[in-house]
């Protein structure tokens, strides 16, 4: 089950100020080591060490391939690819295919360097049986204990009971 927590937008400058939102409350993070151990517990003929080696190599290869401008599709999971967050540049002529700040200091002067890219990011787009539609059908959601207490207190306050 995916447990949800609740948070309130406290940004006074936002149009959504004061509104409540659901957010996933992540339980645990699995790295390659823990994933290999988990997979080895599913009646596989491969040892945890063998699985760990394969997964480690897979991670290195996905990184290498995506940084070379390729996409990598893992069936029923995701298509991995690199993307960029770009800087606006005033002229094509000043754009440089590099990452970093758009301006730099030269003595006491700020000079536009025209770096085309602000930052790189890795995207994972759901695919196959792991698409948004499939996730919506298969997911089971529930509130964390803390979130449920906040919801119950709010309901009670709206009904005139409690001091919330």
Q: What are the tens digits of pLDDT across the range 69-118?
A: 999 999 889 999 999 888 777 666 667 777 776 666 667 776 666 677 88
Length of the chain, in residues: 164
Residue 111 is predicted with a pLDDT of 62
Measuring CA to CA, how many Å separate 74 from each of 18, 21, 62, 71, 130?
A: 40, 32, 10, 10, 10
Q: What are the residues facing 78 on neighbouring strands?
A: 74, 126
- Kindly report whether the global pTM for this prediction surpasses the value 0.75: no
pLDDT higher than 90, residue 59: yes
């Amino acid at each position: 089950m995916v447990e949800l927590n609740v948070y309130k937008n406290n940004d006074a400058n936002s149009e959504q100020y004061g509104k409540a939102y659901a957010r996933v409350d992540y339980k645990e993070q699995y790295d390659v080591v823990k994933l290999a151990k988990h997979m080895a517990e599913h009646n596989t003929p491969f040892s945890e060490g063998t699985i760990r080696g394969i997964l480690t190599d897979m991670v290195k290869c996905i990184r290498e391939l995506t940084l070379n401008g390729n996409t990598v599709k893992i069936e029923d999971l995701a298509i991995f690819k690199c993307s960029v967050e770009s800087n606006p540049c005033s002229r094509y002529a000043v754009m440089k295919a590099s990452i970093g700040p758009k301006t730099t200091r030269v003595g006491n002067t700020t000079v536009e360097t025209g770096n085309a890219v602000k930052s790189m990011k890795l995207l994972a787009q759901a695919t196959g049986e792991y698409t948004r539609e499939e996730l919506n059908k298969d997911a089971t959601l529930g509130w964390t204990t803390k979130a449920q207490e906040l919801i119950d207190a709010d309901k009670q306050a709206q009904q005139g009971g409690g001091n919330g």
